[in-house]
Structure 1
């Protein structure tokens, strides 16, 4: 209850988890989404990045470009959709012994990915998110547009001795809030991405330099701290923009609801090929437990 006497807390909460309402969010300039950026690291994620680009080409027809940002050579992405191109970044991952080097590298690539777009209205989606409609969002500077999930990001630091917790989390607000920005679908103007990406990366590197490698390094904890640091307003687009497929319908043959704009997850990928043939087809995806197992393996686990 004492948080309400904290001026910083009140300020952040007023600018956090704001429902998207175009009539109320009339801060010029207002820009449509014109670039879709898809980060993808590792040869094992090429297929899903190609699939995500295919969905963006078909269903987000108003975008000017689709950019796959990766550590892989462009020639490993054959038969790209017409609007798609590949940007290969040479980024070093962690030195020494570290159990999650590929996941760590994937986050480093992701935090640079929006800056590879050529237009002003930039949507970044994870490679396991498929656009089923064109996102109708008008972007303003110093705002980030996303869907929200439940769970305190600060819990990632539980069990860490206080002296090892980076100082910027001690007085942070957003990492301690239950509702948090989900990083799989993030839209902002180029100017806003240019502010956010360098700080987000710096906090990511510093955060996981302090942590043991007993958990996969997430980009969402430093994302929350970065939004605090830069005083970015967070706008909630609702669950249909970033609809968790495995959580909602995993294990049960189901039709994807017509309201879904961004479908997050859903394995095996072959089920999505059925959707491309007909959106009214029943699809059978695995449960979210499977998704977590296959996406957060250590580097050694992947070789077994």
Structure 2
């Protein structure tokens, strides 16, 4: 109730959800985005990862490399766009009874994906996010650049006995805040990713080892705790960098606004082919409830489809 009186609370909130000022960033120096990393787990997501790479190659031409990081072999990604390579990772999975093994594995691959880039300015995007413009961001060490969403990540721990909640959540601030970093578009320097990824992975594995498998494992709850622990500044790039397509225009024909830099979601993928042909074409995407129905299924539900 009185957390705002805590010096730790006030300190972290002063370094959280900082508005991005491009001119200020240029003055202070920093790295441009030079690598785009696209995590992709499971054969059923190869098509959208390849489409995301196609968009990055076409609409973000200043990018030096595009890296698809996956559990699949390179043969699953025919006709790679320019500057694109595939990195195949092998990661541990959960024990047999666990019902979200593919989602769990996908999160582990995602949290290792930025480390596969070779340049110093690394943007990681989900495989269902398409770049429609070059992201013009000046990256500084010990900062992470993202868009923000509403919802307390700490609510994922509702109903968990206090004795099983890892200690790093008990005094964590960011998981308690309503505005949280959305993990679909994350940019940072290579040095910052090298600092963040090992802690993020450790917190993820530890968190979901304590939880019942009644919900899909999210990487965003441990992300918040990791950012607190490492004292990383979180910078808000605004909604245009990570624009939720289905929420904004799903269910009715509409043109993608010209201000959009990163378009998140949007199904079916065939509508995006129309965008490649003409960016001003009206597109008809599924409404926003579609994503949760098809992307957060248990392994058994996926097999039955």
TM range (shorter): over 0.9
Question: Structure 2: how far apart are the matches of 1:23 and 1:155?
Answer: 37
The match for 1:165 is 165
For residue 44 of structure 1, what is the aligned residue in structure 2?
A: 44
Alignment-derived partner of residue 232 in structure 1: 232
User: Which residue does 2:100 correspond to in 1?
Assistant: 100
Q: How many residues align?
A: 304
What is the distance in 1 between the residues matched to 2:197 and 2:289? 31
Q: CA deviation at 1:24?
A: 3.4
Does structure 2 conserve the Cα–Cα contact (< 8 Å) formed by 1:27 and 1:140? Answer: no
Equivalence for 1:245: 245
C-alpha contact 1:148 1:239 (8 A) present in aligned 2: yes
Deviation of the 1:133 alpha carbon: 0.1
Q: Distance in 1 between matches of 2:81 and 2:88?
A: 17
Q: Which residue in the other structure is 1:259 paired with? A: 259
The reply to whether residue 75 of structure 1 matches residue 95 of structure 2 is: no
Match of 2:57 in 1: 57
Distance 1:128 1:23 in 2: 30
Indicate conservation of the 8 Å contact 1:120/1:190, yes or no: yes
Greater displacement, 36-45 / 95-104 = 95-104
Instruction: State how far apart, in whole Å, the 2-side matches of 1:46 and 1:147 are.
Output: 25
1:1-304 map, 5 Å: 2-25=2-25, 28-304=28-304
Deviates more, 1:124-133 or 1:27-36: 27-36
Shift, 1:26, TM fit: 6.0
> How far 1:23 moved relative to its partner?
3.4
Where do 5+ consecutive residues of structure 2 fail to align? none
Q: Distance in 2 between the 1:129 and 1:4 partners?
A: 35
Q: What displacement does 1:76 show?
A: 1.0
Q: In the TM superposition, what is the alpha-carbon distance from 1:160 to its structure 2 partner?
A: 1.0
Mind listing any 5+ residue stretches in structure 1 that lack a counterpart? none
Q: Is the 8 A contact 1:29 1:141 kept in 2?
A: no
What TM-score do you get using the length of structure 1 for normalisation? 0.98
Deviation at 1:4, TM superposition (A): 2.5
Q: Whole-Å Cα distance in 2 between the matches of residues 230 and 180 of structure 1?
A: 16
Kept in 1: contact 2:26–2:138 (CA 8 A): no
Provide the C-alpha distance between the structure 1 equivalents of 2:15 and 2:143, rounded to a whole number of angstroms.
9
The TM-score, its normalising length taken from structure 2, stands at 0.98
Q: Which whole-Å deviations, capped at 9, do the CAs of 1:184-207 have from their partners, x for residues lacking one?
A: 000000000000000000000000
